[in-house]
Amino acid sequence: MHRSTLLSTCAALSLLACTERPPAPASNPDAAPSAVRPPNPPELDAGPTVVTPSTPDAGSVSDAGLVAADASTPGESCSAARLPPAPVKAAKPSVPAPTEAMRQRILMAARACDYAALATLANENGQGLRFTFGEGNDPVEYWRQAEARGEPVLARIAQVLELPDAKEGALYYWPSVHVTGIRNASDWKPLVGLYPEKQLRAMKKEGGTYYGLRVGITAEGDWQLAVQGD
């Protein structure tokens, strides 16, 4: 190689080595490393929505029996409220079904001192309930006045309906001694507590005729009689 050519080549290489290169971006030591965002996880089934039941109000009771008891209007007080509790049993001797149904409804209404129910029953299957041999056309008012005087008429209605019955004519009567008469000690026994001893002795003196309160119901379930005296 000629010397001149060699010198030209060396000069070209030196010029290329000395040419300024663009600076590389300077790294910032204080900069936080860029976070790599992970891929979104697959969505999971959250399951059924759970609804938390709300707490009931103090006045709201789930038990239907308690609601009914709370909403009911207290009945009037009467002599029958002082009777000892007793289950309602079928009449003995047995009576037709309509008669028995009316008997039980009268009995329960009397024990509950439910005058309104008694008034409904008195006219449910007919009108003309005999409740006194005197004047008056409103049995409920008559019974209320009797109770106010201390006469336990509603208690006696309930009590006689729990005694044996007997049929005479078109009516089934309670107690049975109204029809059969008081013939012996066993006939008197159920009447003890129904009337004072003095009144029972007076009945004995009159030949065993029972003239106390009696209830009469037809075979069709028409309540026709709840009266005492003769």
Q: Into how many domains does the chain fold? A: 1
Q: Outline where the chain has alpha helix (H).
A: 3-18, 64-71, 97-111, 115-124, 139-148, 153-160, 177-180, 185-188, 197-205
Q: What is the pLDDT of residues 106-143, one digit of tens each?
A: 999 999 999 999 999 999 987 789 999 888 889 999 99
The answer to whether residue 3 is domain-embedded is: no
The answer to whether residue 202 is domain-embedded is: yes
- Mean pLDDT, rounded, of the chain: 75
Mean pLDDT check: name the lowest of 39-43, 96-100, 204-208. Answer: 39-43
- In the block, tokens 């009266």 appear at 227
The answer to whether residue 135 is domain-embedded is: yes
Q: What is the pLDDT of residues 167-189, one digit of tens each?
A: 999 999 999 999 998 888 888 88
pLDDT at 85: 92
For the question of whether the overall pTM of this predicted structure is more than 0.75, the answer is: no
* Res. 42: pLDDT tops 50: no
* Interior/surface letters 83-95, b for 16+ CB within 10 angstroms, e for the rest: beeeeeeebeeeb
The answer to whether residue 45 is domain-embedded is: no
Band of pLDDT at residue 217, cut at 50, 70 and 90: very high
Mean pLDDT check: name the lowest of 57-71, 82-96, 162-176. Answer: 57-71
The answer to whether residue 2 is domain-embedded is: no
Q: Which domain holds residue 176?
A: 82-227
The answer to whether residue 26 is domain-embedded is: no
The answer to whether residue 35 is domain-embedded is: no
